[in-house]
Amino acid sequence: MKQIVKNGLEIIFGAMLYAIAINYFLIPNRIGEGGVTGLTTIGYYTLRITPALTNLVLNGIILIIGFRYLPQRTIFYTFWAILWISIFLKLPVLWPYQTNQTLIATLAGGVLMGVSMGLIFRANGTIAGSTILAKIVNRYLGIRNGSAMLFFDLIVAIPSGLVIGFQNMLLTVIELYVSAVVLNKYLDAFGAKRSVLVFSERNQAIGKALSEQLGKGVTMIQAKGFYSQKNEDVLYYICSSKDWTTVIPIISSVDPHALVVTDQIRSVRGWHVADL
CA distance 210 to 56: 45
At 196, phi and psi to the nearest 5?
Answer: -130, 125
CA distance 105 to 247: 41
**Tens digit of each residue's pLDDT (9 = 90 or more) over 62-78:** 777 667 767 778 888 88
Q: What average pLDDT does the segment 171-184 reach?
A: 86
CA distance 262 to 130: 31
Strand 193-199 relative to strand 259-265: parallel, antiparallel, unpaired? antiparallel
pLDDT at 12: 93
CA distance 177 to 151: 10
All structural domains of the chain:
2-190 (no CATH), 193-275 (3.30.70.120)
pLDDT over threshold 60, residue 95: yes
Confidence of residue 267 (pLDDT cuts 50, 70, 90): low
Q: What average pLDDT does the segment 126-144 reach?
A: 74
pLDDT over threshold 60, residue 118: yes
Residues sharing a CB contact under 8 Å with residue 17, sequence separation 6 or more, in sequence order = 112, 115, 116, 119
Confidence of residue 195 (pLDDT cuts 50, 70, 90): confident
Judged by average pLDDT, the poorest of 3-7, 31-35, 269-273 is 269-273
CA distance 192 to 272: 18
**Tens digit of each residue's pLDDT (9 = 90 or more) over 201-250:** 888 888 888 888 887 778 888 887 777 778 888 888 887 767 777 888 88
Give the max Cα distance, the chain.
74
pLDDT at 263: 80
Helix axes 2-20, 72-90, angle to 10 degrees: 40
Beta bridge partner(s), residue 262: 196
DSSP state of 92: P
Other residues' Cβ atoms within 10 Å of the Cβ of residue 256: 8
